[in-house]
């Protein structure tokens, strides 16, 4: 794939491709084990030079931080336990997460939340692990990186329990409609948009929602290697998604928001910098 999504001529100098920040990239996934430097090089050519590596378990969060340490100014990490792994969350986990969250390269607590779609962990364990990580984020002064599937009401209830102590955060990979979006905006959250929006078969509610999403609350992410945008041409044979597809998410999102891709690029980069406190990009 090349940066075909971006509406600039292919020969345009790299410097003129708008800068984007991928706030959710699962770069420690085994599918990137053999060629991560190439993946990051391709991403950089498409304007994606700053990325936040998602931590989904204690081990994955440690690995995310380790990776971020190798590329300061370009990679950051989150630290948390995904609802799928909620039954692994105990006091020892929390002690280690608290320690990880002290590191300046760890810019958010999560990914944490509720997933009643897969139910890989019992729902009561999910609720407990989630509530404890929300507390931890508040105590650590970190933003939240949030995951929710088919659990909107319970998810909302746990966030609302925090009242004014609720930290800033992002509803990552938001896939719902206008009602859920309004609930998250009311809580002060940002909305993370992935390649889900590029799938016309299942994104009609999402597209309706983002039509009224304020520009100061929008973020973009690939959630790679998952969620390869369905509108990418040609589709890679491996089906692996990479950060270089982020301009395609921006392109489709911009058309749903009724603004230009440049406006979305500028807004999402500014929002990601401010929300996660990211320093200026690498040169
Ligand atoms: Zn997720």
Per-residue pLDDT tens over the stretch 151-203: 999 999 999 999 999 999 999 999 999 999 999 999 999 999 999 999 999 99
CA of 154 to the centre of ligand 1 (A): 17
| pLDDT, average across residues 115-124 | 95
Per-residue pLDDT tens over the stretch 129-155: 999 999 999 999 999 999 999 999 999
CA of 269 to the centre of ligand 1 (A): 20
CA of 11 to the centre of ligand 1 (A): 35
CA of 24 to the centre of ligand 1 (A): 9
**Structure confidence at residue 9 (pLDDT):** 45
Per-residue pLDDT tens over the stretch 33-89: 999 999 999 999 999 999 999 999 999 999 999 999 999 999 999 999 999 999 999
Q: Quick check: 81 and 58 in contact, CB under 8 A?
A: yes
Neighbouring C-beta atoms of residue 164, cutoff 10 Å: 4
CA of 54 to the centre of ligand 1 (A): 9
E strand or H helix at 166: none
Q: Quick check: 112 and 144 in contact, CB under 8 A?
A: yes
Dihedral angle sign, alpha carbons of residues 72, 270, 268, 58: positive
**Structure confidence at residue 280 (pLDDT):** 72
CA of 25 to the centre of ligand 1 (A): 10
The predicted model scores a pTM of 0.94
Q: 186 is written with which tokens?
A: 């009311």
**pLDDT(13) > 90:** no
Question: CA torsion 273→274→277→279, rounded to 10°?
Answer: 40
**pLDDT(8) > 80:** no
CA of 111 to the centre of ligand 1 (A): 7
CA of 126 to the centre of ligand 1 (A): 14
């Amino acid at each position: 794939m090349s940066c075909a999504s971006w509406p600039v001529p292919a020969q345009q100098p790299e410097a003129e491709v708008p800068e984007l920040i991928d706030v959710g990239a699962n770069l420690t996934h085994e599918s990137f084990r053999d060629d991560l430097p190439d993946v990051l090089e391709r991403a950089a050519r498409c304007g994606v030079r700053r990325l936040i590596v998602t931590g989904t378990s204690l081990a994955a969060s440690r690995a995310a931080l380790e990776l971020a340490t190798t590329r300061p100014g370009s990679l950051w990490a989150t630290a948390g336990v995904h609802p799928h792994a909620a039954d692994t969350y105990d006091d020892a986990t929390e002690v280690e997460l608290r320690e990880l969250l002290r590191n300046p390269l760890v810019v958010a607590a999560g990914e944490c939340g509720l997933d009643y779609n897969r139910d890989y962990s019992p729902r009561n364990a999910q609720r407990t692990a989630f509530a404890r990580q929300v507390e931890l984020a508040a105590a650590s002064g970190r933003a939240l990186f949030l995951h929710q599937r088919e659990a909107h009401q319970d998810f909302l209830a746990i966030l609302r329990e925090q009242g004014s102590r609720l930290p800033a955060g992002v509803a990552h990979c938001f896939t719902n409609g206008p009602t859920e979006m309004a609930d998250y905006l009311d809580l002060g959250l940002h909305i993370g948009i992935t390649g889900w929006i590029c799938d016309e078969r299942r994104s009609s509610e999402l597209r309706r929602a983002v039509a009224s999403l304020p520009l100061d609350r929008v973020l973009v992410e690939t959630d790679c290697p998952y969620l390869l945008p369905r509108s990418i041409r040609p589709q890679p044979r491996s089906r692996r998604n990479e950060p270089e597809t982020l301009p395609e998410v921006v392109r489709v999102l911009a058309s749903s928001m009724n603004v230009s891709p440049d406006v979305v690029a500028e807004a999402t980069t500014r929002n990601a910098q401010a929300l996660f406190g990211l320093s200026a990009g690498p040169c």
